[in-house]
Structure 1
Amino acid sequence: MKSINEASRQTKYRLLTAALACTVLLAGCSGNNGNNASTGEASPATASQSASVESPSAAASESTAPEDGPMTKYEQPIEVTIGQSNYEASSFIEGESVDSNIHHKFNEEYLNIKYKNKWVVDATKAGEKVNLVIASDDLPDVMKVGLNQLQMLIKNGQVEDLTEAWAKYPTEKVRSMAEYQDKIAFLPATKEGKIYGIPLARDFGESIGIMYVRQDWLDKLKLQAPTNLQELEAVAKAFVNDDPDGNGKKDTYGIGFDKEMGFVSGQPMLTSIAAGFKAYPKLWVKDDSGNFAYGSIQPQMKETLAFLQNMYKLGALDPEFAVKDFAKVTEMYTNGKIGILFGVFSAPIYPLMTNKEADPKAEWTVLPIPSGADGQVAPAAKSFVNEWIVVRKGFEHPEAAIKSMNLWAEMFVGPNEYNDRWAEANSGAYSGKNINLYALPYNFDSPYQNLKNGENLRAAKESGDESKLDVREQWILSEKNKGGSYGWAIEKTFYEAEKVLLEYKNIRYSDYQGAPTPSMISKSPTLDKLELETFIKIIMGASLDEFDRFVEKWRALGGDQITQEVNEAAK
């Protein structure tokens, strides 16, 4: 497990989460996409829902034992041990800690569940700790694990079958979050029809490409915003040659790329352009015979690199991009030197807000990524789940973790008693703190709540009726109305970027949803390095024949073995 991913994600979106009350005042919403998991494509459409939740106080007052349900309070306290990560001390108010805080109090009061930390480690070392407890078979009652660890636990028979518990105990809110997009996140956690892990969802749009273009540059040069790859090339060329910033110097570039082409920074740079060629680097796709094949070695990837090579020759890419990390590229955006960004839905908050702060006259338009020759495009996406909750084999109350998930969802999705108290706490003593990181048993988000918030805000703007906005949406609206660079960024994010996500008819996930294979684990570092170095070399002018040699090397150095293992694992 890479628990450091959660810490780095929180750092990356700190401005967003802090400004949105640490993501705790979330709107009630849901979604269910009729995607076909076997094709790897999914629609981002959403649908509304509601959940009926039994009041624990009412249940406790019954003279007879109540029927056990999604949030029925246990008659007697039960203890649940967990493994916990320590993120940052600033998350707590005086007198509280990772061992005892507001989440413990809510679980004890509403559910009679007493959580006890079996161990606490720094978030950056959590993966190592989990590996050790799996090896020693010294698991806590409930634990958060990554994909490799999940598969290992299932194979070893160390975790409880949660099929019956999942059928009975989740509220509709929690079910809709975990089962989002046709239950795709349950595929790695299911063996022979039985469920062994519950997905911990994140916003589904965190990896999906959106195109941001300097509108003021377009206006100055009397250009239309690009919609396809051909138009993208023309606009990028003009941004280089036609002095869009009006300083009389040839010192601007079309498109921002960093030395990892977005795969480390999380900004979908290469993938957003590749999708127009129906190329999907790093993803596993089905070939014509129905077998799994690695996306980075397909012929469409060669077309993508040829396009980028031409863009590099035109000067649309910074000639030094191969040695610059995303922080350096962000400086170029801040200083108004790049006119097009391929980023995620929160890119207006970072990095584009830095440009707005430096130049209040700068304007960015928000668009779908460019389509190919057929006018269609399906952006690549990573899974919105990379961690699962598991329960130790033999634990008496496997449903307890699900009940606590239900409580957490009620706390951050209102309106209800739980949300009212949680919102009050976060506008008071916990204001500005990331206490949501310590939700019990573990933190998760609604994968579609930002989409729904955006829909509701846009509808209120169109109708002029803001009375139906929930607490979080009203807060977002108030922040937008304050203006300034942050108000601008909020508006771009929720009124424009989220709208673009809804416009995509299909989204391309990896066709292979299983755990990394043994050769994938051992060979991928070498193959990934070869891939990155070759792609950069080609973009910067090497012969396109280098791609064919790369494919041969990739296959010989372990790629064929990985491909065989992937196809065997998927049977």
Structure 2
Amino acid sequence: MKKMLSGVLAGMMLTGVLLTGCGGEKSKEGASADQNYDYNSTVNLTWLNILHTASPPTDVVKSKIEEYTKSKITFNWVPDASKEERITTSLASGQLADIVTLTMMSNSSVRSSLKSGLFWDVGPYLDEFSNLKNIPAKVREAASVDGVLYGVPFQKNLARSGFVIRQDWLDKLGLKVPTTLDELYEVARAFTEDDPDGNGKKDTVGFGDRSDLRYSSFKTLSSYFGTPNGWKVDDAGKFTPEFDTQEYLDTMNYSHKLYQNGYLAKDFAVTAKTDQQQQFAQGKTGIYTGMVDILNLHNLSQGLQPNMKLVPVNKISKGDGQYHIWSEGSGVGGLLAFPKSEVKSEAELKRLLKFVNDLMDEKVFMLMTGGIEGTHYEIDANGAFKVINKDLWQADVQPFASSRPSEVTYDLKDADAEKQMSNELIRENDKFAVLDPTVPLDSATMNEKGTELQKIITDATFKFIMGEIDEAGFKDAVSSWKKQGGDQITQEYEEAYAKAKK
């Protein structure tokens, strides 16, 4: 299988969780201060990890992973919905595991813990391993804090965002796939007002959405309006937060108009991701944010929307033919971090790095992606990947997808045409991805107050969209953000940026 870019399943979403009793004695065969560590020894390890599915995986694929990597793994899973609370508690209590999956890299608790020296600096060791040495320098830089790499970066595509639209509804209403924001608005209107499902009832809405400013339609629409990703930096090195730009205001006005006219789901501010997916699968909405979920949406619709046809859309402009899409983490999905409280010696660290290195081998990638060939998946005559037993795959394999250290190492051609098209568009997004300039920078105030301050902006943005405040009210919120620490954050980023440029 040739090494290229992968878009088979959803990318890594990563976090931590409380681990009962993991701070006690652990048996790592051969672990010692001996630098000539036996990499062929079996390693017993614990791993704090995120669960994106309803249930943890069975041991069917887990045992195969353990056999290949010469390990015995105790996974400690936490539901995605609980990740922020659990990771904060785990870091504060010090009840960690040998490997901790960290996401929310801008979260103040995560940043503070990384800078405190809680985790090993793995930068000096990566080049000793066959797969880890291939992690690009720009990815290492983006994953570092103050120039220190506190874990193995999860490698992701630069930008996965885009929309999934009901192609069958477009066809019924005589509409084309939108390429501009005006055309997208018209699709949302038609999906709401023109009876796209043909049942004679006004029971559909254009945009489904959820209570997450970053992963809802807003951030993607914001990109299409040309809003900077996180921060704008001018030639003089002056930083301006994205929400203090005209493009952000334009996006709020666009979203407010959608909401006011009923083209954006009225309950979006209290809707969870799983509920948003169910609404789409049930035919209640026609536009979904997240191309990577296209196959899952189709699977959820089975028995509910038998004639559903979907199209992924990644290129929408203001009408000028210029495309932009925000990049999350500049190709970094988080870190596989190793707490010094659990990993006592350099020898233990290297053995765990060897384990992570082995997870990036093609065989383990396929186990974590497809499972066991002939049982969970097959490669058809056209060389395309296809799940052959969906129920088994969901039980044995799917929960491992977000634990793959890299989603860009191997390329699989998907047998599902819609999914394959989504994969290709995600790769195309690399051409016009907009990076967040603060990813490799650090701000002490952001580490301390960033999460709390962001809530000011998130709440104000939602209120503006729903018509509860006007532009003046939003500007008051921005002023509050600045006074409570935002101005200090801006100054610290400018200083860090200037220092990095020297």
Question: What TM-score, normalized to structure 1?
Answer: 0.64
Alignment of 1:475-490 (within 5 A): 476-477=414-415, 490=416
Once the two structures are TM-superposed, the CA of residue 259 in structure 1 deviates from its matched residue by: 3.5
In the alignment, does 2:207 pair up with 1:255?
A: yes
Where 1:553 maps in the other structure, the secondary structure is helix
CA distance in 2, matches of 1:154, 1:312: 40
CA distance in 1, matches of 2:97, 2:463: 48
Shift in CA distance, 155/367, structure 1 to aligned 2, threshold 3 Å: closer
Once the two structures are TM-superposed, the CA of residue 515 in structure 1 deviates from its matched residue by: 7.0
In the alignment, does 2:317 pair up with 1:354?
A: no
Which residue of 299, 302, 310 corresponds with 2:246? 299
Q: Which moved more, 1:229-238 or 1:514-523?
A: 514-523
Which residue of 212, 217, 235 corresponds with 1:269? 217
Q: Is the 1:197–1:388 contact (alpha carbons within 8 Å) kept by the matching residues of 2? A: yes
In the alignment, does 2:227 pair up with 1:285?
A: no
Shift in CA distance, 321/198, structure 1 to aligned 2, threshold 3 Å: closer
In the alignment, does 2:131 pair up with 1:167?
A: no
Which residue of 500, 506, 509 corresponds with 2:425? 500
CA distance in 2, matches of 1:344, 1:317: 18
Where 1:204 maps in the other structure, the secondary structure is coil
Aligned counterpart, 2:142: 187
Which residue of 87, 91, 95 corresponds with 2:58? 91
Which residue of 523, 533, 547 corresponds with 2:474? 547
State the percentage of identical aligned residues.
22
Q: Is the 1:257–1:329 contact (alpha carbons within 8 Å) kept by the matching residues of 2? A: yes
Where 2:303 maps in the other structure, the secondary structure is helix
CA distance in 1, matches of 2:400, 2:308: 39
Letter in 2 for 1:448: V
Once the two structures are TM-superposed, the CA of residue 226 in structure 1 deviates from its matched residue by: 0.9
Where 1:226 maps in the other structure, the secondary structure is coil
Aligned counterpart, 2:179: 227
Aligned counterpart, 2:17: none
Shift in CA distance, 306/156, structure 1 to aligned 2, threshold 3 Å: closer
Structure 2: unaligned runs, 5 residues or longer: 7-35, 378-388
Letter in 2 for 1:84: W
Q: Is the 1:209–1:369 contact (alpha carbons within 8 Å) kept by the matching residues of 2? A: no
In the alignment, does 2:276 pair up with 1:329?
A: yes
Deviation sequence 1:23-56 (CA, Å, 0-9, x none)? xxxx552359xxxxxxxxxxxxxxxxxxxxxxxx
Alignment of 1:43-442 (within 5 A): 82-85=45-48, 91-92=58-59, 102-108=64-70, 123=78, 125=86, 128-133=89-94, 147=105, 155=115, 162-171=122-131, 174-176=132-134, 178-179=135-136, 183-189=138-144, 195-201=149-155, 203-204=156-157, 208-261=160-213, 263=214, 266=215, 268-280=216-228, 283-350=230-297, 352-355=298-301, 357-383=303-329, 384-390=332-338, 392=340, 395-396=346-347, 398-410=349-361, 412=363, 434=396
Once the two structures are TM-superposed, the CA of residue 278 in structure 1 deviates from its matched residue by: 0.9
Q: Which moved more, 1:247-256 or 1:514-523?
A: 514-523
In the alignment, does 2:445 pair up with 1:519?
A: yes
Once the two structures are TM-superposed, the CA of residue 447 in structure 1 deviates from its matched residue by: 2.4
CA distance in 2, matches of 1:531, 1:150: 20
In the alignment, does 2:456 pair up with 1:530?
A: yes
Once the two structures are TM-superposed, the CA of residue 420 in structure 1 deviates from its matched residue by: 13
Shift in CA distance, 408/522, structure 1 to aligned 2, threshold 3 Å: closer
CA distance in 1, matches of 2:345, 2:241: 39
Q: Is the 2:39–2:351 contact (alpha carbons within 8 Å) kept by the matching residues of 1? A: no
Where 1:546 maps in the other structure, the secondary structure is helix
Q: Is the 1:28–1:413 contact (alpha carbons within 8 Å) kept by the matching residues of 2? A: no
Once the two structures are TM-superposed, the CA of residue 298 in structure 1 deviates from its matched residue by: 1.8
Higher helix share: 1
CA distance in 1, matches of 2:241, 2:465: 20
Letter in 2 for 1:296: F
Where 2:325 maps in the other structure, the secondary structure is coil
Letter in 1 for 2:478: V
CA distance in 2, matches of 1:322, 1:391: 36
Q: Is the 1:189–1:198 contact (alpha carbons within 8 Å) kept by the matching residues of 2? A: no
CA distance in 2, matches of 1:522, 1:546: 26
Where 2:286 maps in the other structure, the secondary structure is strand
Letter in 2 for 1:229: L
CA-based RMSD of the aligned residues comes to 4.3
Once the two structures are TM-superposed, the CA of residue 497 in structure 1 deviates from its matched residue by: 0.7
CA distance in 1, matches of 2:5, 2:129: 19
Q: Is the 1:28–1:415 contact (alpha carbons within 8 Å) kept by the matching residues of 2? A: no
Q: Is the 1:253–1:338 contact (alpha carbons within 8 Å) kept by the matching residues of 2? A: yes
CA distance in 2, matches of 1:290, 1:244: 49
Where 1:254 maps in the other structure, the secondary structure is strand
Question: What TM-score, normalized to structure 2?
Answer: 0.71
Once the two structures are TM-superposed, the CA of residue 166 in structure 1 deviates from its matched residue by: 2.3
Q: Is the 2:359–2:365 contact (alpha carbons within 8 Å) kept by the matching residues of 1? A: no
CA distance in 2, matches of 1:280, 1:245: 37
Shift in CA distance, 329/83, structure 1 to aligned 2, threshold 3 Å: closer
CA distance in 2, matches of 1:506, 1:517: 27
Once the two structures are TM-superposed, the CA of residue 229 in structure 1 deviates from its matched residue by: 0.7
Shift in CA distance, 311/391, structure 1 to aligned 2, threshold 3 Å: closer
CA distance in 1, matches of 2:164, 2:39: 55
Which residue of 30, 34, 47 corresponds with 2:4? 30
Q: Is the 2:208–2:287 contact (alpha carbons within 8 Å) kept by the matching residues of 1? A: yes
How many residues are matched? 436
Once the two structures are TM-superposed, the CA of residue 227 in structure 1 deviates from its matched residue by: 0.2
